[in-house]
Amino acid sequence: MTNDLDTVFDDSWGEDHRSGMVAVVGRPNVGKSTLINRIIGEKIAIVSPKPQTTRKRQLGIYTTDAAQIIFIDTPGLHAPQHKLGEVMVKDAEASLRDADVILVVMDVSKLPSDGERIVSERIAALRGDTPVIVVLNKSDLLEESTRSAYIVASADLFPYARTHLVSATEGTNVEGLITHLIESLPLGPRYYPRDQISEANNRFLAGETVREKIMILTEQEIPHAVAVDVESYQEREDGTHYVSAVIYVERDSQKGIVIGKGGEMIKRIGSEARADLQRATGARVYLDLRVKVLKDWRKDDKLMTRLGYRPPKDEE
């Protein structure tokens, strides 16, 4: 007779199965989200050429017969300029304390700056006994004349860690990195079903997709002054997904840029976001976007909380 619990718990992983949390950390715009998307095989985290694209810790799940890697894609470590920036840094640092493995991503196509040195110091201070693996990303952008010097300069910041030279965009050497990650995880069970690749729901996906398009399509200060609040996400009986969202900016001038002349920009944002959401959900999506001003929301604890960002707490 089959126990009802057998339909809930999957214990098929075996005694040698490995699993755990991997915190993906580094400076903004070094390719952390691109790397996770490459490993998972599907788009989990939003990507844009603008720094500080990731604002909240996101979860990507990679499962094989032998292991399950649970990735935390953190906001980049940086010097915060406002309360939202403080939240992002606090989230990134919290992920280091929670992780079974710390995966540091660096842009090896550039010489390390003071920012990279600050990251290395923070990780050294917070890692304890947690294994650290360093990814030297963007190897496809290295020039032969500076290749060796740039690799050595980046690796020297983490003398205690093993490094992997990869290109997340092209997939170069990513398989070797995955093998090393699995070997570094503790023995443990499968925490999520084999086919689950993220904890994000459709509402979260919709908001992040709209924000990604704004980041890609707008310039100057606009991307970082934007928050997207999905007020309604309905899966209707005819199979259509109806999404109603408000794009918040901090000033009237930013609202005008997001809307664009004759509404051209907001139409383009909606069109490109809708296309991505239809590919992700396999459903026809109706996307209703509005733009509102919420003055200086990144500096106001109450407004940040309203938009889903946890205000930073003072250190005890």
Q: pLDDT, tens digit, for every residue of 77-103?
A: 545 555 555 655 666 666 677 789 999
Q: pLDDT, tens digit, for every residue of 7-57?
A: 334 555 677 899 999 999 888 788 888 899 899 887 665 454 444 444 455
Measure CA 51 to chain center: 12
User: Picking from 69-83, 98-112, 131-145, which range would have the lowest pLDDT averaged per residue?
Assistant: 69-83
The one-character DSSP state at 302 is H
Check residue 7 and give its pLDDT: 35
Whether the per-residue pLDDT at 246 is higher than 80: the answer is yes
* Rounded (5°) CA angle 220-222-225: 130
Check residue 187 and give its pLDDT: 93
Conformation bin of residue 14: beta by default, left when phi > 0, alpha when psi is -120 to 50: left
**Is residue 177 within 8 Å of residue 105, measured between CB atoms?**
no
**What is the average pLDDT score of the chain?**
82
Whether the per-residue pLDDT at 307 is higher than 90: the answer is no
Higher pLDDT residue, 76 or 242?
Answer: 242
Check residue 152 and give its pLDDT: 96
Q: pLDDT, tens digit, for every residue of 188-226?
A: 988 888 877 876 678 878 888 898 889 888 876 565 778
Q: What is the dihedral of CA 276, 280, 285, 291, to 10 degrees?
A: -50
Tell me which CATH homologous superfamily contains domain 17-184: P-loop containing nucleotide triphosphate hydrolases (3.40.50.300)
- Give the global pTM: 0.62
User: Picking from 44-48, 125-129, 262-266, which range would have the lowest pLDDT averaged per residue?
Assistant: 44-48
Cα Rg for the chain, rounded, in angstroms?
21
d(CA 218, CA 248) in angstroms, rounded, equals: 14
| Nearest alpha carbon to residue 74 among 115, 123, 25, 35 | 25
List where CATH 3.40.50.300 sits in the chain: 17-184
SS3 46: coil
Instruction: List alpha helices for the chain, DSSP H.
Output: 32-40, 83-98, 114-126, 147-155, 174-184, 202-217, 252-259, 264-281, 301-306
Sequence-separated (6 or more) residues with CB below 8 Å from residue 252: 293
Check residue 1 and give its pLDDT: 39
CATH class of 202-306: alpha beta
Whether the per-residue pLDDT at 308 is higher than 80: the answer is no
Higher pLDDT residue, 41 or 157?
Answer: 157
Check residue 88 and give its pLDDT: 59
The one-character DSSP state at 149 is H
Tokens of 151: 């690799």
List where CATH 3.30.300.20 sits in the chain: 202-306
